[in-house]
Copies of this chain bind each other. A is one copy, B any other.
Amino acid sequence: MTASRSVLAAQATDFPRWFQDVIAKAELAENGPVRGTMVVRPYGYGIWELLQEAMNRRIKSTGAANAYFPLLIPESYLQREAEHVEGFSPELAVVTHAGGKQLEEPLVIRPTSETVVGEYMAKWIQSYRDLPLLLNQWSNVVRWELRPRLFLRTTEFLWQEGHTAHATAEDARAFATRILSDVYRDVMVNLLAIPVVAGRKTRRERFAGAINTMTLEAMTGDGKALQMGTSHELGQNFARAFDIGYLSNEGRRELAWTTSWGSTTRMVGGVIMVHGDDAGLRVPPSVAPVQVVVLAIKDETIAAARSIADDLTAAGVRVTLDDRADQPFGRRAVNWELKGVPIRIEVGPRDLAAGTATVVRRLRGSTKSAVGLAELTNTVVEAIDADQQHLLAEATDRQNARITTVSTIDEAVEVTASGWARLPYDTVGEEGEDRLAESGVTVRCLQRQDGSLPIEDNEPDLIAYVARSY
């Protein structure tokens, strides 16, 4: 794949540059007219749509229902929860004029919707019978970013944000944990083929207004960490600020316990950063807008290529026929590699004469094999499934190989030049986090020894995962 190397920076040389190059060349997205904003092109949006559909189905299976809350929030709403406004103030975009007039109260474009959702939860919840209230919203949010990066940190991004209210702290915790483990983790591992480490954020990395933030962290191709989704216990902070109360079974008025959880277009960035290689993108078949491209090498093989594509479509595969036989074959092949289409079927005159087609598996080092036309559909359907598994196994092995157990902060910093460090949180602590921060390193999350999620901040013997991050 020397041809494609010429259009992309090499990963080993400059990974962030490679990321930017592949987004442009694979036509995933580009910068919007306003700094930090993003135009998501059809190929990138196609990945997002498949991901979104799978995520939406899983969210609904928890009993949560979709709703829609307004984009514009009165500034005063945000101020009701002290930590929340402090955390988000520097990132707000503010509407001061509308309909040709100056507004009496400035409006902020939602950076997240806890406040406005809280206001309505308070109206809708009367008694314990109304609990749990499980809501989800697919929308755009705006957070003014100082160091924007396409897909990973954009001034506007697309996401789902869930908001729930429960009768007890235990119910709230159980639900927030269920979203992390059963919904987010399932999508990331089984759809995106991205292994993730689940853990609790330290106090300094917590969501503004939460009593607990749980996270899923993925390892990028250059050994950094990428936060892929978070789920928050909000305690009674927002219930208190917005008066979300209910009449208990015993007739007492109680405050509810709320949660929120979000996952964003950043997940598409994760797909690029975890699976991509020097030849370009590698898209997991489950979220690939094009799972198979059938490439007619010559004019006289277009009919056969079309028939192969039709058979695969009938078998439920997402297929594109490339019948541009008037354009150089090599350039077309390289372009499909760049776009990370999992399987390419090349149909040339010599193939057809031999009763075969050439199957090229992008997720297996672009290995080629001649497959008899009669077995082609079955072979490809099986390969799609196998290669989805292979991609996950490969990413898991790579992640495991690059997590090093250490015992001091200095060692941790050293290790994070090319991977993650794992060390006792007792040897880090809040002061240790300051020291790590000086080297641009953060505690990504905390786990118990057995890998489970801590329930308290101060549990003894926790393990810290430490890394540089995007």
Contact = CB atoms under 8 A, between A and B. Distances in A.
Interface of A: 30, 32-34, 37-42, 45-46, 48-49, 65-74, 77, 89-100, 106-107, 109, 116, 119-120, 135, 139-140, 142, 144, 146, 155-156, 158
A395 to B, nearest CB: 27
Given A39-B67, A67-B45, A71-B156, A34 B107 contact: yes
Nearest to A146: B99
Contacts of A96: 94-97
A45 B68 contact: yes
A10 to B, nearest CB: 27
A100 B90 contact: yes
A120 B119 CA distance: 39
Given A93-B98, A139-B140, A46 B65 contact: yes
A123 to B, nearest CB: 8
A41 B65 CA distance: 9
A49 B37 contact: no
B116 A32 contact: yes
Contacts of A100: 89-90, 92, 144
A156 B140 CA distance: 13
B66 A39 contact: no
Contacts of A139: 140
Given A37-B71, A92-B98, 4 more contacts: A72-B93, A89-B100, A91-B99, A93-B99
A69 B30 CA distance: 10
Contacts of A70: 32-34, 37-39, 156
A49 B33 contact: no
B41 A144 contact: no
Nearest to A34: B72
Contacts of A46: 65-66
A109 B95 contact: yes
Contacts of A99: 90-93, 144, 146
Contacts of A65: 42, 45-46
B158 A68 contact: yes
15 contacts: A33-B73, A33-B74, A34-B73, A37-B72, A39-B68, A39-B116, A39-B120, A45-B68, A46-B65, A71-B142, A92-B100, A93-B97, A93-B98, A93-B107, A100-B144
A99 B99 CA distance: 23
From A48, A72, A156, name the one whose CB has the most chain B CB atoms within 10 angstroms.
A72
A156 B68 CA distance: 11
